[in-house]
Structure 1
Amino acid sequence: MDLAINHSELSARVPAMPFLAADVGGTFARVALMQVPRGEGREPEVLAYRKLACADFAGLTELLQSFVDSDAGAGVRHCVLACAGHVRDDEVLNDNSPWPIHLAQLRQALALDDVAVLNDFEALGHALGNGPTGGSRRLCGPTVPSDGPVLVIGPGTGLGAAVRLPASAGGHVLATEAGQMDFAPGSIREREVLALLAPHGGYVAYERLVSGPGLLATYAALCALRGETPALATPGEVTAAAAACSDAQAVEAVQVFCASLGSFAGSLAMTFMATGGVYLAGGFLHSMFTLLEHSAFEERFLHGRSVRAFLSQVPVWVTEHGRHGVLGAAQWYLRRGVPGAVRQASTKR
């Protein structure tokens, strides 16, 4: 990767002992015990890894302590967190977080010397961006990307996005607030759904529709438009019913979701001239790849007129979230983290 780690530079800044890397979302937290790479240019090594449901724990401290007890053991003194939100004073603020995250409390409870924080999609941007990985499936566009900025977009509990600049521009990853942009309906049906979500007008963010909760909200709105009572209670139930064609409103909700995601991704690809490609990240999308493939995503991604020629050359992949978040967080920490201080990368989902 262009973010190759120089071990000699790191040894003076980061202890050789294993450290924690946690990718904390609104529904799941992925936690790993990482080892500093042995040898120049190598990536951090994963010694242990778990995907944990946030709802199973009273807070992040309890979640991380459970991992330490089962997989890490004593002596872990450093931690890097990739999480949605932004740091204010000592707290990570995020509307979609299952519990408050207080950094000083976390450090004290786990006896940590250092806690570093970056945005979760910034972490994904560090892990992705040099061509498709083994868990990636091409959705549309050319097979081989050009050199240029790479977008990482992920609808989950919220809607996150980050852009990674090419190596010629330093390989930096920029976190964004793109999920909070005003939703722009692309069809009459989407205007009707928007009118139900905001009956008095006003601001409606893209993540109100393009996310797991957004899919469920769209489904409920479509049921209301037809005067029916919603029969499905989770985003997973909606996608399963759509795949089975067993619920007409679920089918239409997924169509609206995929089309709106296409418009969102195409707009960002234009904004950042993302010739390096677009990654749609997360198990949520990976599990509904066939629905996405047969939707209006590509047509809405391509937009129209002169910009269509540019966007048709931008490849789009769907990739599993997997370990990318913890790997990207560890790479960022080893390259930029300095033990003894809290690092902040501000954005919100």
Structure 2
Amino acid sequence: MTGYYISGDIGGTKTLLQATELKDGDAQVCCERRYASQEYACFSDMLREFLRETMALGIGSNPVSACFAVAGPITQQVANLTNLPWVMDSAAITKEFSIPVVKLINDFKTVALGIETLPESDLATLQAGKPSAMELRVTLGAGTGMGVAWLIWQDGRYIPLSSEAGHMDFAPADELQDRLLQYLRKKFGHVSIERILSGPGLTNTFNFLQTDLNSTPALVQVRLKPDGAAQISDLAFNHKHPIAMRAMDLFVEIYGAYAGNLALAGLCRNGVYVAGGIAPRIIDKLREGGFMKAFRDKGRFSSLMEDIPVHVVMNPKIGLLGATQEARRIAGNN
């Protein structure tokens, strides 16, 4: 088959779109662009711009298929994105752009699909553990939100199962985290784990810790953007700001505990894969030990937790890799 297909990884902050050309069974990426998601009123405006670029490159007029990874729940191929005011409908995209087959897929389901394609060099291992072949795996990752997907062995390969486990209740593990929960409950009512384990969540944690400024009067209160994760990281790692450093410690501890909870929930003996935009940027912090200490701190099941492999996905395009793999599959090219 000759033609090209479109894949995309659509997040609340950024979107990656890619066109891959297929000739006699060989696939070659011929166009890839990054877009700031919030600069577009709807996804169609972005896709229209991308397709104009592909046509200018002489790739072709219409793709044979498309797969888009979206950050949000999908019902009958319609998605309301969690962190964008967009509604995406695969049937509407098919009609508007004359693409024969269009599929929407949960963003962390495509992350899960991409795991099998990664070389070892794209993984940073926090705990080698004792992997058990064909047992469950789980992928999770903090970025604009918190994504989670499971991987179950079936018919000789891993099949991804999407979830909205990022909206599970936050479970505090000590008195400081109890106070964090109380602070966030006054602000949001229901406190999901995503209110902490995300870019905006790190901002929430920093702002909570600033409420204790009376004990550190020499510090000037810092005003952050709603998603001030990059600013907090800079304050912590480059300026040794004590509140930013504590916010990062707390973030990592809660991240590790949550990853451990997911590993227990699925008994994921063949690996936990931490992806998302934040983890690769703070990999040195994750390696310090606070993440794994909280991961393993499960009382009577602590010894079991030591056997579960834990890896950080360092490839920022893993979601796009999974979407590309699926776009090719639905075009009839397994």
TM-score category (smaller protein) = 0.7 to 0.9
Q: State the match for 1:9 in structure 2.
A: none
Q: State the match for 2:30 in structure 1.
A: 47
* 2:36 partner letter: A
* 1:99 partner letter: W
Gaps of 5+ in 2: 215-219
In 1, Cα distance between equivalents of 2:24 and 2:168: 43
Question: Is 1:248–2:248 an aligned residue pair?
Answer: no
In 2, Cα distance between equivalents of 1:129 and 1:307: 28
Question: Is 1:261–2:247 an aligned residue pair?
Answer: no
Summarize deviations over 1:318-338 as a string: whole Å, max 9, x none.
113533222212323444578
Tell me the SS of whatever aligns to 1:124.
helix
Q: State the match for 1:145 in structure 2.
A: 131
Give, in angstroms, the shift of residue 165 of structure 1.
1.6
TM-score when normalising by structure 1: 0.82
Q: State the match for 2:217 in structure 1.
A: none
Give, in angstroms, the shift of residue 167 of structure 1.
5.2
Q: State the match for 1:69 in structure 2.
A: 52
Give, in angstroms, the shift of residue 93 of structure 1.
1.3
Please list, as runs of the form range in 1=range in 2, the aligned pairs for 1:185-196 lying within 5 A after superposition.
185-196=172-183
Summarize deviations over 1:244-270 as a string: whole Å, max 9, x none.
243221111111111111011001111
In 2, Cα distance between equivalents of 1:322 and 1:18: 23
Q: State the match for 1:229 in structure 2.
A: 221
Question: Is 1:93–2:80 an aligned residue pair?
Answer: yes
* Structure 1, 307-316 or 64-73: larger mean CA deviation: 64-73
Give, in angstroms, the shift of residue 89 of structure 1.
6.0
Q: State the match for 2:107 in structure 1.
A: 120
* Structure 1, 258-267 or 91-100: larger mean CA deviation: 91-100
Tell me the SS of whatever aligns to 1:134.
helix
Larger RCO of the pair (alpha carbons < 8 Å, separation 6+): 1
* 2:242 partner letter: A
Match of 1:178 among 165, 179, 193: 165
Change (3 A) 1:65 1:200: closer
In 2, Cα distance between equivalents of 1:313 and 1:90: 38
- What is the total number of aligned residue pairs between the two structures? 321
8 Å contact 1:283–1:321 — kept in the other structure?
Answer: no
Change (3 A) 1:37 1:304: farther
8 Å contact 2:253–2:290 — kept in the other structure?
Answer: yes
8 Å contact 2:8–2:320 — kept in the other structure?
Answer: yes
Question: Is 1:275–2:269 an aligned residue pair?
Answer: yes
In 2, Cα distance between equivalents of 1:297 and 1:219: 18
Tell me the SS of whatever aligns to 1:287.
helix
Tell me the SS of whatever aligns to 1:69.
helix
Q: Aligned-pair RMSD on alpha carbons?
A: 2.7
* 2:175 partner letter: I
- Matched-pair identity in %: 26
8 Å contact 2:15–2:36 — kept in the other structure?
Answer: yes
Greater fraction of residues in strand:
2
Change (3 A) 1:163 1:88: closer
Give, in angstroms, the shift of residue 239 of structure 1.
1.2
Tell me the SS of whatever aligns to 1:85.
coil
Q: State the match for 1:316 in structure 2.
A: 310
* 1:172 partner letter: I
* 1:230 partner letter: V
Give, in angstroms, the shift of residue 170 of structure 1.
4.7
Give, in angstroms, the shift of residue 84 of structure 1.
1.7
8 Å contact 1:195–1:201 — kept in the other structure?
Answer: no
Give, in angstroms, the shift of residue 216 of structure 1.
0.6
Match of 2:284 among 284, 290, 295: 290
Change (3 A) 1:169 1:190: farther
Question: Is 1:198–2:179 an aligned residue pair?
Answer: no
TM-score when normalising by structure 2: 0.86
In 2, Cα distance between equivalents of 1:57 and 1:185: 37
In 1, Cα distance between equivalents of 2:197 and 2:75: 27
8 Å contact 1:255–1:295 — kept in the other structure?
Answer: no
Tell me the SS of whatever aligns to 1:171.
strand
